[in-house]
Amino acid sequence: MKITDILNPDMVVADLKGATKPDVLNELAKALAAKYKEIKLGDLTAVLAERERLGSTAIGDGIAIPHGKLRGVTKIIGVFGRHAQGVDFDSLDGGPSHLFFVLVAPEDSASLHLKALARVSRLLKDGSFRSRLLAAGDSAELYSLIKEEDNRY
């Protein structure tokens, strides 16, 4: 599985504006709902918020991977976002989250969903790669960096 199977170039938000966890989740959910007509914004934000209630998806090192399963979705899809200032996302290490990768999977996709989470986590755990993402100029450059890193594995 490749990240580029999940992430389209137009699903990269270089400059997230939200100041809180719900704001950022809503901003990223809006991007997915605008692109994929089978997604209802309210349903997606509820699924993501419920997952966060179970435990934060911020895994440390400035990374958060909000995710959930949603009826009507036929394949795993994602949106990547970057927040320059960082947001308190209840991270395991207590630090702000800057890099967000939302994954939405079909309701019946347990193994693919877990593979996608593992792939994104592995990709973002590389410190030099995270630094390049934080320094990138715009959405196109961010996607290019993700694609380049994705092709290395």
For 79, residues 6+ apart whose C-beta sits below 8 A from its C-beta are: 7, 11, 12, 13, 28, 31, 32, 101, 102
User: For the stretch 33-70, what's the b/e string if a residue is b when 16 or more beta carbons lie within 10 angstroms of its beta carbon?
Assistant: beebeebeeebbbebbbebbeeebbbbebbbbbbbbbb
Active site residues: 67
Whether the Cβ atoms of residue 68 and residue 42 lie closer than 8 Å to each other: no
